[in-house]
Amino acid sequence: MGWDELKDLGLENVWILDRRDDLSQADVLYSFALDELLCRKTGQGGPSICHIWRHPKGFVMGLRDSRLPRAADAEQALQSDGWATAVRNSGGAAVPLDTGVINLSLIMPKPSVESFHFHDDFERMYGLIRYALQETGCQVDKGEIKGAYCPGDFDLSINGYKFCGIAQRRQTHAYIVQAFIVAEGSGQERARFVREFYDQAAGGADTKEYPLVHADSTASLEQLTGLGQDAGKRFVEAVKRIIGSQQTEAGMRDAKAKFEMPSREQIEAMAEVMRARYAIQTE
């Protein structure tokens, strides 16, 4: 990817919100709720934002996962083992989060209320991640990886191993593209963990209703590239360099003036709204 291609991604004057070292929030929905509130602000004229975050021990399910026959039992088992759980309002399926997983949220205004350019928005995140890994010499491919957890057309992989999944949430005037990047540790262990969740949650459901996860489908950037044990940190530094290269002094003055961080109380209130709306339904 060359400079012209980077310019074509449309990442000019994106405000960076790096919360990767804030691991104080036990609620795994906290960062999703923050995304939701920031997206509203962006849609009202606020700046485009790249939100970078991690969670120490969270398990996030998709809407289809939450409808599996024994999803509530599987969730309770996770909670008993100390996992913070939630059902997210963006697309995708179950994903485990820990300090070795980097989450990127690109929050950007829609060109119009009628804009439905889902593909272009996914491509923007793909381009950012591909460019951030360019110096590793590894080719980043897109396309569903059979047997991976949270499968989709925008699975990102290296040598056939998935390391990233992308989902999207659209509001009236802005949208969020969320990516989870398995940066450090074992991708295989995470895949086995998700498989165990489905083994319990499925409860005899048709196998078409949930992903059939295989351990050998997934690997981390630490395993796939030469980034080493600090793969997460080095990946984030590359992302920030790329976004920084597209910032101007005037653009950042404007972004700073328009950026408004929601209060903790506002974020927690939104998290409760989301939890009530998307929680697993028990009989």
Q: Catalytic residue, from 39, 50, 150, 164: name it.
A: 150
Structure tokens belonging to residue 139:
């080719």
190 within 8 A of 177, measured Cβ to Cβ: no
50 is a catalytic site residue:
no
Residues 6+ apart with CB under 8 A from 182: 100, 101, 162, 163, 164, 190, 218, 219, 220, 221
- As a dihedral over the C-alpha atoms of residue 179, residue 12, residue 261, residue 274, rounded to 10 degrees, the angle is -30
Q: Helices (H), strands (E): how many in the chain?
A: 10, 10
214 within 8 A of 147, measured Cβ to Cβ: yes
Residues designated as active site? 150
